[in-house]
Chain A
């Protein structure tokens, strides 16, 4: 067989192989080993270090599209938060999908399972358009900015907001970001002005962008996509969908490497034959 034909492979065969190797482990998990990275441990320790009675701002800054990568991350982090005696306030600035995903995650966890009460220990204010500008307005004066929560409850009836004014009252920001580099926005608008600590997670596509903020210490650790979510599930000892997906991720990556190898074999073979080489 001429290796040159490898450059003209119908990509649908590669798609088929990719789909098979990513779906099969979901049906029959392989149980491949997983090491926990330093960045994930730093996120865990940062959340653990929030003082009792402290306030955590939870930025569910993702859309339905990246649910597969970030939902497990959100569930794992929220589980960890709800084991501590902290207040969790959430406003979504990225997409109207975000509060729906947050609600789904909270329903999956069950506030009652952690002895938490909505409006007292946790509140979801839903989505506000305007991205960075809205985030700034919230940080300056949350009560002037918000009227009701996601379910229409007036802010005056939510005791969690009694002593909360804005960004200066936040002990930690957790930004789980999909598609847009949201942790950067919190650093720019809240950390530089109020010195707020920021941590979070991001989808694989924007993770490299945020690595420099981790190195400079501006971000206290960062969860890397579904792998970060799987590591976090191990740390909190609650295995979930992210760990199950790791086998798929491993094999998917191997198929991509195989595609690169095949493509280069074909390319070098065609180069050689153009120079008058032999067909192998």
Chain B
């Protein structure tokens, strides 16, 4: 019995190469290599500005990393949302803004820890995290924003159908909105309803850029290299198949 499963060998090789590339460049970040990215994400640059505006208006910020589960294929989007939430909370702590998180049950422990630690990093000890759990998620978020009269609504993470409800209600409440989702069906809704938005893997990049952590930035550089390789493969494959040459497809099917 062969250890390698037929039909998955090329995929295994490609996956291993991807992992090695990401691990190597991330590891280089731990050894002091500095990655200087020229990439600017407008949505991320707008966050301190939005929080400053909320402070001036003396109104709180509402943050949600979405209602998607942390397990399953879209779990990492929620993790990214929690990471970005940490940085948003840190900026709020620095500028003296009040922030409320709306989360799902399973995010509660992490969200509370991240919230507490974000304030701790700004020298504020003993802050009680304002993290709320909702079963009826969209309604809960809307109720929080309406009751607290939030000035800014920030949403990054894994969202399902609650996103248009939350975003549109926030717009009607006059909130300034910054959002991002890697969930493809939600991308157009984020773009349509938010003042600044991140789409697709920009959300993953945002976490790395906000942290200014060269380990994460190394991973980002690795992803860019891999994407260039993939794009080249797609272009090459399209040209070959147009010329009725199936060699590349046959290799990928091994």
Interface residues of A (CB under 8 A from B): 11, 65-66, 130-133, 179-181, 184-185, 188, 192, 203, 205-206, 208-209
The answer on a CB contact under 8 Å between A184 and B73 is yes
Closest chain A CB from B43 CB (angstroms):
22
Please, which residues of chain B bring their CB within 8 A of the CB of A181? 73-74, 185
The answer on a CB contact under 8 Å between A208 and B185 is yes
Contact of B185 among A130, A185, A192, A205 (CB under 8 A): A205
Contact bitstring B69-104, A, C-beta under 8 A = 1, else 0: 101111000000000000000000000000000000
The answer on a CB contact under 8 Å between B185 and A132 is no
Query: Closest chain B residue to A193 by CB distance?
Result: B5
A11 to B160, CA, bound (A): 24
Closest chain B CB from A3 CB (angstroms):
23
Contact bitstring B173-201, A, C-beta under 8 A = 1, else 0: 00000000000110000000000000000
A208 to B188, CA, bound (A): 11
Please, which residues of chain B bring their CB within 8 A of the CB of A206? 185
Interface pairs A-B: 4 shortest CB-CB: A132-B72, A131-B72, A209-B184, A206-B185
Query: Closest chain A residue to B184 by CB distance?
Result: A209
The answer on a CB contact under 8 Å between A131 and B71 is yes
The answer on a CB contact under 8 Å between A132 and B184 is no
A132 to B185, CA, bound (A): 19
Interface: B232 (CB within 8 A): no
Interface: B161 (CB within 8 A): yes
The answer on a CB contact under 8 Å between A208 and B184 is yes
A209 to B188, CA, bound (A): 12
Interface residues of B (CB under 8 A from A): 8, 68-69, 71-74, 160-161, 172, 184-185
The answer on a CB contact under 8 Å between B71 and A65 is no
The answer on a CB contact under 8 Å between A130 and B160 is no
In the assembled complex, 28 residue pairs joining A and B whose CB atoms fall closer than 8 Å, in A order, are A11-B172, A65-B161, A66-B161, A130-B71, A131-B69, A131-B71, A131-B72, A132-B71, A132-B72, A132-B73, A133-B71, A133-B72, A179-B160, A179-B161, A180-B68, A180-B160, A181-B74, A181-B185, A184-B73, A185-B72, A185-B73, A188-B73, A192-B8, A203-B161, A205-B161, A206-B185, A208-B184, A209-B185
A66 to B72, CA, bound (A): 21
Please, which residues of chain A bring their CB within 8 A of the CB of B161? 65-66, 179, 203, 205
Closest chain B CB from A8 CB (angstroms):
14
Closest chain B CB from A125 CB (angstroms):
20
Chain A facing B: main interface SS: helix
Closest chain A CB from B253 CB (angstroms):
13
Please, which residues of chain B bring their CB within 8 A of the CB of A179? 160-161
Query: Closest chain B residue to A202 by CB distance?
Result: B185
Given contacts A203-B161, A206-B185, 7 further A-B contacts (CB under 8 A): A65-B161, A179-B160, A180-B68, A180-B160, A181-B74, A181-B185, A185-B72
Which of A179, A184, A188: most chain B CB closer than 10 A?
A179
Please, which residues of chain A bring their CB within 8 A of the CB of B74? 181
A11 to B8, CA, bound (A): 53
Closest chain A CB from B198 CB (angstroms):
18
Please, which residues of chain B bring their CB within 8 A of the CB of A203? 161
Please, which residues of chain B bring their CB within 8 A of the CB of A185? 72-73
Please, which residues of chain A bring their CB within 8 A of the CB of B8? 192
Query: Closest chain B residue to A135 by CB distance?
Result: B72
A105 to B189, CA, bound (A): 32
Please, which residues of chain A bring their CB within 8 A of the CB of B72? 131-133, 185
Closest chain B CB from A181 CB (angstroms):
8
Please, which residues of chain B bring their CB within 8 A of the CB of A131? 69, 71-72
Query: Closest chain A residue to B186 by CB distance?
Result: A205
Closest chain A CB from B241 CB (angstroms):
13
A239 to B209, CA, bound (A): 54
Query: Closest chain A residue to B5 by CB distance?
Result: A193
A184 to B73, CA, bound (A): 9
A203 to B69, CA, bound (A): 19
A179 to B67, CA, bound (A): 11
A105 to B164, CA, bound (A): 29
Query: Closest chain A residue to B138 by CB distance?
Result: A65
Please, which residues of chain A bring their CB within 8 A of the CB of B68? 180
A130 to B73, CA, bound (A): 12
A192 to B5, CA, bound (A): 11
Closest chain B CB from A178 CB (angstroms):
8
Which of B72, B160, B172: most chain A CB closer than 10 A?
B72
Please, which residues of chain B bring their CB within 8 A of the CB of A11? 172
Query: Closest chain B residue to A11 by CB distance?
Result: B172
Please, which residues of chain A bring their CB within 8 A of the CB of B71? 130-133
A208 to B187, CA, bound (A): 11
A95 to B120, CA, bound (A): 37
